Every structure is written in C-alpha cells, then in structure tokens.
Amino acid sequence: MAKYTMRDVARLAGVSIATVSAYINGTAGVSERLTAKIAEAMAALDYHPDQVARSLKVGRTQVIGMVVPDVTNAFFPEVIRGVEDAAAVEGYSVILCNSNEDAEQEKRHLSTLFSRRVDGVLLACTDTAAAYGSLIQRRFPIVFLDRIPQGIPHAGVCTDNEGAGHVATRHLIGLGHKRIAFVAGNLRHSPHAERLNGFRKAMQEANIAVRDECLRMGDQSIESGYKAGLEMMRLAVPPTAIIASNNRMLLGLMRAVNELKIRCPQQVSIVGFDDFAWTQHFTPPLTVIAQPAHELGRKAMEMLLGQIRAGEGNETKRFENLRLAGELRVRESTARPPALQLVGKTRRKGGD
Amino acid sequence: MAKYTMRDVARLAGVSIATVSAYINGTAGVSERLTAKIAEAMAALDYHPDQVARSLKVGRTQVIGMVVPDVTNAFFPEVIRGVEDAAAVEGYSVILCNSNEDAEQEKRHLSTLFSRRVDGVLLACTDTAAAYGSLIQRRFPIVFLDRIPQGIPHAGVCTDNEGAGHVATRHLIGLGHKRIAFVAGNLRHSPHAERLNGFRKAMQEANIAVRDECLRMGDQSIESGYKAGLEMMRLAVPPTAIIASNNRMLLGLMRAVNELKIRCPQQVSIVGFDDFAWTQHFTPPLTVIAQPAHELGRKAMEMLLGQIRAGEGNETKRFENLRLAGELRVRESTARPPALQLVGKTRRKGGD
DNA sequence: CTGTTAGCGCATTCAT
DNA sequence: ATGAATGCGCTAACAG
C-alpha cells in the first residue's frame, strides 16, 4: 500500500522530485503542463504523500490528541463531533483516548500522545492541577475541555456551570419550591463543584437555607443517583425538588422515584443536566440544562489551533477562557410543589 | 516540548545513541549500570521518543484509523471503547473519523488515513462494496465493523443480525402476535437488511404472511421511526406488535405511540435494537436486542492486528468473518396481543 | 556490550 | 521553473 514515493511519481511524470513537492504543497509555481502530468501520475499510482516523513521534516503532525474520561458518557460524543468538525476543516486528525477516570491511564495516554508528536491536546482531565503545571509552563498547546483544573493558568472552554446551576435552581424557586435538593457529582471535577456553587448562590439570594440532608455527593454514576434519590425521598420531610448534576445521576434519580411510586412532577420536581434524544421522550419529559456540547468542542479545537499557530510568539491566547451558556429546557418533570399546586390550578382556572 | 532527542539523552547519560535505542526498544542487553543512567537521563529531560521518526524508519505507525458514520449514535461509543481497550494493550492508538453517512467524506477520511500511514483501518462503511475492492486487493489491513459490504471478499465482525431479527420476531410470535410490523433502516446497510431477513424467515416459519403495510423503510432517524409509527397505528387494522431496527427509530416509534395515546404493551408490543442505560428506565422498560458492542470492537481490533502482523505471509485470516450473537432482553414493552390478554390472565389465574 | 553509520520519504536550500 | 544535496530523529546492521 504505502508503496510509492514522491520519487516514483516524479519519474512517471518525467519531472524532478522537488517539482512534485512544490505541486503538492503549492509552494512554488508549477507550469500547467507539469501540473497535469503530475496529477496524472499521482492518480495512476494512487499515491498518498507520506505524512509521517513530512511530519518528521516540518516538525508538525497535523494530529491532535483528545482524552476524555469515557466516550460512553453521551455528553462526549457530541463534543467530539464538534472537535472533529473543526479539525477536519484545517486538515487535522484526532487521536481519541479514554482515561477511564484514572489519573494513571490519563498520564500514560498523554505520554504516548507526546511521543506521537501531536501538535496539541484537548483534555477533559481526571487528574489534579499539579499534573499539568509543567506541561503548560513548557508552552505545550493544550486546552482544557469541560473539566477545568483549579489553581494553574490554563486555556479552557466549558459550560458556564455556575450559571447553569443557578438557572436550574431559580427555575425551581420560581415555581415555589423551598426544599430543594442537589445531587452532585465528584466535587473535584470543576463542573460539579461549579454547579453546586450556582445552586448555593441562588438559594442564598432567595434566602432559603440549604439543608444538609438535601445535599448528596455522588460519583456521576446511575447507581449513585439512585441511592441519593432513595435516601432523600425517604426522609421524614423529603425535598419537593431535586437537581441532578449530570445525566447519569438523573437516570438513577428517576429510577428511585419510580420505584418508590412517587409521582414526578406532582410530588417531586426533577431537573437534570445534559439533553439527549431520550430525555424528551421520557415519562415525564425531563426538564434539563442542555450543554452546548458541539460548540464546546468546536471552540476548544479553534482555541487549540490558535495556540498551535501562535507558536512561541503570541502570548495573548495562551490563557484564554471560554464559558458557554447552558440552556434551560423546561419540560414536564418540573411543576409547582405539592402544597402550591391547588393554588396554582385555582389561579389558572380563574383566568391567569 | 519535542525538544530533546536520543542524542541528548545519550550525551547526558554518557553513552552512545545506539545504546539508548537498545534500552528503549529492549533490542539488546544493556548493563544495569547504563540502564540506570539512561533512565535517569530520560527522566531528567522528560524525554519522549519520537514515534514519527521511528515510524518512518520501521514502516509502522502503531496507529489505526476508525471511521464510523457518527459517534453520536450511542451504539458506536461502546464499540470504540472495545477497540481502544484492545488497541491500548498492544500500544496502538486510534484516529477517529466521522463519515456523516456521506461516501465522499468517508473517502476523504480514508485518504488522509493512508497518508498518515495508519497500519490498518476499522470501517463501519457508508459506501458500496465497489469502493473497497482495490483496497482489499492490495492487502491493506482492513476489517469491516457492523456494516458489512456485500459482494466482495473481506474480513468483518458484526452482530448476527439475521439471528437477532429472527429471535425478536419469534419472541413476538411466541406471545401470540400475528400482525407484526417491522420498521427497517436503510436496507443498503447490511445490519438492517439482515434484520429484515431474520424477520421474514421467522414469519415464514410460523406461516404468517407479512403484510405490505406493516413493512416500513426508515433511515435510522428518530423522525422516520415516528412517521412509520404514526402511519401504521392509524391503519384500519393496525399491527399488534412492531420491531424497530435501531435505537433511534425505536425512540420515534415510542413517541408516535404516546402521542396517539396508544398504550404499550397493552395495545401494541414493541421491541427495538440496542440496549442503553435509558432503555430500561423508559416507561415502559423496553424489550430490546442488545448488541455486544464492546466485544464487537474488541474482536475487530484483534482481527485487524492479526492482519497487520500476518503481513504478506499469512493468508488464512484475511477474509475471516465473525458474527456475534445479540441478546434478547425481555422487559415490559412486549406482552400478549390484546385479543389474547384475557385468555392469558385467565389461564394464569387458573394455576398456570 | 557499545559506538558508527546509512538511510526511511520528504521539504528545502542553493544552484542552474 | 527545475534538479541535486542535506538532514529531520530514529533503527538496524555492522564493527569493534
């Protein structure tokens, strides 16, 4: 397959190797006649320029690495699409790696990516900030995606998670809820910490105390959402609304609620994060905060390209940060709290 | 970043460049003393061997390409995990590409993959067989995944789709259904054609005629499942059971049924393909055929490695085909047809 | 065991 | 506009 070289093409076209190179890279003007002959020869041989030789020569691979905790989390495939769409336009390919939420695996993946001389890395990180300090100091092109390490300068793009947590909470407060619970993911991961912050802020602004038993720390798994749901809904005074900090815990929550025969939204309102094809077809259709996943990926790739091109010169873009707004999509899993439902209905009937 | 070369670590360790190479590749024995010095020097410099130079030299990249129609289809992320898990073990990385169901994009992706000198390709193909003939003739390592082109020799791994379609249909027939409908995806893609074959075979074996109006051709989208569902359930004599040939059309089908206020499974039984976290939390929990997605990926990667290693010598494995069994997971979206439900209940009460 | 050396395929001077 | 020569970092064959 990788049989023919530029030399073969040159010979067949009756030109020099340098001319072929010039033609392929558009470096110098090549006469129309030769252009035709070269194109013909390339087609005849089904010649594919050897990018690895080229990479060695020019010091760029036109490949970037992307490491995510787990592609199987439906949030990431959309991000990946955004990344690839932006990458393809610029002739970049992407090597995908799963860290499996394991700092060691992440480190190994990064190491092989460096060996492969990727031009840059997109990272939804699993490790703590300390692991990336030297990378950034050396000016290796890297942008953090979704999960942002704390305490080091960096470039990154993620959802405005604090804002999203805030909006979700205000939606519930606006419906009249006061006993609002929050099922967080691992707080060492910025999205979850920030969503919780947004929740706390909104509660504080509304002068509603956050009760300890209404705060559960999960680990992003369905199981942990299920457990949290079970425990909370069995409280003497259960919450009237719950926010799940990611899509899997949301699923677990719904399972718990169904198992306990608690009706949603009549008895408890629920809002989650992430919006997929199935969320709106759920029973009830779920109110969620949708993340701009595709755009997250696209922007991250664009920022990375910016860093790659800036090279040693441009410093301005190295620590750029982008936070894209999430979007509250109100569906049927949220409603007024039980105590207010009669009032609400009465009012509505009365001509609201 | 990519600053240090083998020469630098050789100098720092006070040995020759060949010794460093030997140490890294385990080619020749290196004395313990030098081993230590080299390891130390590599660590001090944070040296990452340049795989692109190595690749140029040895003629292998340890990278494979994988092109799928769309990562966003939840079936593929699981396959990808299988591929990567098997790849990582052998020091392989994978470049992921989305063809977007477009033969042109697929062709372009393949072309850049060849230029990048990937050692092989895993392909869930969008194009027709003709596009791959020359590839296979040239003995380029390639294994088809999920979607298998017809009419050319090839290596491939996919679910036993005909068997799966057969099992799904027999499940329904076993429950007493006779008016069974099938919503197929694009029949140019082998999985859908084969699932339909399995359906037909099972119907024939049971001596049940397949009615024209109970066969719908979709395009794998939610929308097409929705439309098919709407049309069929509005028939004068609607089917009592429907099989959806993929997960998205299944979702569309459920939407149609819900909108028409038709109860599932009381009025219509539904079985779909693919099993994700949400299918069992649906209302009702969905009966599906689960595909062994992770294993599909793992096996495909292993077969590809086999081809890569066989090189020019070994011919036996070039056209190997694997069909892994799907698994029927019976949940609550399937039940006896309306006319038989009373009978069934009566019998059961009677001590069945 | 260790050092020297010749390319892998290409981009890129520097000549012409 | 085109051809010859050099080297990117590494491996492998060979010489010591």
| Residue of chain A nearest B80, judged by CA positions | A71
Range with the poorest average pLDDT among A260-269, B126-135, B247-256: B126-135
**Quick one: which residue's CA is nearest to C4's C1'?**
B18
Tokens matching residue B284: 């009702």
Q: Which nucleotide is nearest to A21 (CA to C1')?
A: C11
Q: Is the CB of B108 under 7 A from strand D?
A: no
Q: Do B282 and A283 touch (CB under 8 A)?
A: yes
Q: Do A96 and B96 touch (CB under 8 A)?
A: yes
A-to-B residue pairs, Cβ atoms closer than 8 angstroms: 136
**Quick one: which residue's CA is nearest to C13's C1'?**
A18
User: Is the confidence at residue B294, as pLDDT, over 70?
Assistant: yes
- DSSP states of A32-76: HHHHHHHHHHHHHHT----HHHHHHHHS--SEEEEEES-TTSTHH
Q: What are phi and psi of B129, to 5 degrees?
A: -50, -40
Q: Is the CB of B330 under 7 A from strand D?
A: no
Q: Do A277 and B80 touch (CB under 8 A)?
A: no
- Cα gap B226→B218, rounded to integer Å: 10
The length of chain B, given as a count of residues? 352
User: Is the confidence at residue B31, as pLDDT, over 60?
Assistant: yes
Q: What is the pLDDT of residue B21?
A: 87
Smallest Cα–Cα separation from A301: which of A69, A71, A86?
A86
Q: Do A2 and B94 touch (CB under 8 A)?
A: no
Q: What are phi and psi of B328, to 5 degrees?
A: -75, 125
Q: Do B93 and A93 touch (CB under 8 A)?
A: no
- Cα gap A41→A13, rounded to integer Å: 6
Q: Which residues of A touch B248 (CB under 8 A)?
A: 277
Q: What is the pLDDT of residue A41?
A: 85
B56 → closest Cβ in A56, A76, A111:
A56
Smallest Cα–Cα separation from A297: which of A158, A199, A183?
A158
Q: What is the mean pLDDT of each run of 10 residues along chain A (352 residues)?
A: 78 84 78 82 89 94 97 97 96 97 96 96 94 90 95 94 98 97 96 98 97 94 96 96 96 95 97 96 95 98 93 68 97 93 45 34
- B209 CA: distance to closest CA in chain A (Å): 33
Nucleotides of D under 7 A from a protein CB: 1-5, 7-13
Q: Is the CB of A57 under 7 A from strand D?
A: yes
Share of chain B above pLDDT 70, in %: 94
- What is the set of domains in chain B, with CATH numbers? 6-49 (no CATH), 63-159+293-324 (3.40.50.2300), 161-291+329-350 (3.40.50.2300)
| Residue of chain B nearest A84, judged by CA positions | B97
Q: What is the pLDDT of residue A21?
A: 84
Q: What is the pLDDT of residue A112?
A: 96
The length of chain A, given as a count of residues? 352
Q: How confident is the model at residue B313 (pLDDT cuts 50, 70, 90)?
A: low
Q: Is the CB of B338 under 7 A from strand D?
A: no
Q: Do B71 and A71 touch (CB under 8 A)?
A: yes
| Residue of chain A nearest B75, judged by CA positions | A72
